[in-house]
Amino acid sequence: MWNILIIDDEQPARDRLRRLVAAMEDYRVTGEAANGNQALDRIRELGPDILLLDISMPGMDGMALANQLQEVGASPAIVFCTAYQDQALRAFEVEAVDYVVKPVRAERLEKALDKAARYLGKESGGEGEQQHFLRSTVGGKVVLTPVSRVICLLAEDKYTTVIHEGGDTVVDESLTELEQSYPSNFFRVHRNALVSRKHLRGLERTHEGHTQVLLSGTDRRPEVSRRNVSALRKLLSELT
């Protein structure tokens, strides 16, 4: 079952898409948004597989949203549903899967969704995988960082620093909140640090006698507390 987020500033348009999807066996609508800014929150909250995305909306429009998702490198499959007939080229430049012109017909929508499902199946190796994002604000711009690209999380001052494959950012959530939200992604090495399980590469002993964890994709080497060394060694042995 593929989860869909409908993004359109007009309620009747959202209602129509919801009715059309409800008649399809392999798809379900899990949420709605009226503009791009709302959509960022809903994407982070719901982790949809497919976006049914309008272009013309107040604030952040559909094309700007697609651009931003493309920049983070892990976006849901995008199907534009729009009254514009001349934006298809721009849509495919932001890696949209399909482009459906309003009024949307049931058979055309189902064809687009099937295309998105094939794309997702290929990207995930045959199984749909829900994507999750961490939300931060940088220079007044909302940024979504895919959890799958996070290397480690460090508690610093009042914020949590996110070290990811593309750089770093900060989020408001505490390490405890993030650990509870993504237990399969992160491992606690210290009261001030979580590390990505898939980025684990080994341990290193410093001249001062401290143990640090080696991670792919970053020069950061978070310290491992004494009580967590044994569990981390066991985890590393299971990963090799």
Per the CB < 8 A criterion, the answer to whether 115 and 122 are in contact is: no
Per the CB < 8 A criterion, the answer to whether 225 and 191 are in contact is: yes
Name the more confident of 154 and 120: 154
| Per-residue confidence (pLDDT) for residue 135, from 0 to 100 | 84
CA distance 33 to 129: 22
pTM exceeds 0.85: no
Rg (CA), the chain: 20
Q: Is the bond into 103 cis (omega within 30 degrees of 0)?
A: yes
Name the more confident of 90 and 201: 201
Residue 220 structure tokens: 């950061």
In order, the DSSP letters of 137-189 are EETTEEEEEEGGGEEEEEEETTEEEEEETTEEEEESS-HHHHHHH-TTTEEEE
Any idea which architecture 2-123 has in CATH? Answer: 3-Layer(aba) Sandwich (3.40)
Confidence at 121, pLDDT banded by 50, 70, 90? confident
The chain-wide mean pLDDT, for the chain, equals 88
Distant-in-sequence contacts of 118-125, Cβ < 8 A, 24+ apart: 119/77, 120/2, 120/49, 120/50, 120/77
Least confident of 12-21, 24-33, 166-175: 166-175
Confidence at 146, pLDDT banded by 50, 70, 90? confident
What 3-state DSSP class applies to 69?
Answer: helix
Confidence at 126, pLDDT banded by 50, 70, 90? very low
pLDDT at 71 over 70: yes
Q: Per residue in 86-118, pLDDT tens?
A: 887 888 888 888 999 999 999 999 999 998 988
| Per-residue confidence (pLDDT) for residue 1, from 0 to 100 | 84
Mean pLDDT throughout 63-67? 91
Backbone phi, then psi, for 15, in 5-degree steps? -60, -40
Show me where the domains of the chain are located: 2-123, 133-239
Q: Which CATH superfamily is domain 133-239 in?
A: LytTr DNA-binding domain (2.40.50.1020)
Of the ranges 6-10, 61-65, 99-103, 199-203, which is most confident?
Answer: 6-10
| Per-residue confidence (pLDDT) for residue 85, from 0 to 100 | 81
Q: Per residue in 32-64, pLDDT tens?
A: 999 999 999 898 888 899 999 999 999 899 999
